[in-house]
Homo-oligomer: A and B are copies of this chain.
């Protein structure tokens, strides 16, 4: 997560104050209204210090966001693939549902088309690892015979995450349990999985 040049002398307290201030402001004003000036003022930190360690506002929020998302959407294997997918997706839906994370993530996504480096970072740190984890869980289900051997697992994951992003981006957030359950069932069925 460290986007900085290597340094042994970085002030951890400045780092924390910056990340916290950034998320607070994101909640209070919305991503678009957050400014580096305000983060610096709120955190009691100089702008120079922020620019020293992060290339942009989005990078600050990304760091805060990532720290948190990882722990909120675990990937467990209880043997029941449908249940595990529901658990995972429900975690993601819940994270996006609560400020400041939903708005913050929407804001970060919005920068991806203007900032190649950020896009690369987001994919490498946030998207790809979780995507791979999801594929991995499906593969283990496949090995246990719950899913046909020729199923397209990558596509399946995209079909799971896709509607979630679609709704988030268009600000029609998913309404938790019921929606998620139906989505998982449909995706599994599309793979030719045996009905439960």
B115, B119, B165, B189: which contacts A166 (Cβ < 8 A)?
B165
Asked whether A166 and B162 contact (CB < 8 A) given A31-B113, A111-B110, the answer is yes
- Contact (Cβ within 8 A) B165 A186: no
- Contact (Cβ within 8 A) B166 A183: no
- Contact (Cβ within 8 A) B170 A155: no
Instruction: Count the copies.
Output: 4
Query: Which B residues are in CB contact (< 8 Å) with A114?
Result: 30-33, 107
- Contact (Cβ within 8 A) B106 A113: yes
Q: A34 CB to closest chain B CB, in angstroms?
A: 10
- For this complex, into which size category does the number of interface residues on chain A fall? 35 or more
How far apart are the CA atoms of A192 and B195 in the complex, in Å?
Answer: 12
A187 within 8 A of B: yes
A36 within 8 A of B: no
A169 within 8 A of B: yes
23 contacts between A and B (CB under 8 A): A30-B114, A32-B113, A106-B112, A107-B110, A109-B169, A109-B170, A110-B111, A110-B113, A119-B170, A123-B172, A127-B170, A155-B163, A155-B186, A159-B163, A159-B183, A159-B187, A161-B166, A162-B165, A162-B166, A165-B169, A166-B166, A169-B169, A189-B190
Apart from the given pairs A158-B162, A159-B163, A159-B187, 11 other A-B contacts in the complex at a CB distance below 8 Å = A123-B170, A123-B171, A152-B186, A155-B163, A155-B183, A155-B186, A162-B163, A162-B167, A165-B166, A189-B192, A190-B190
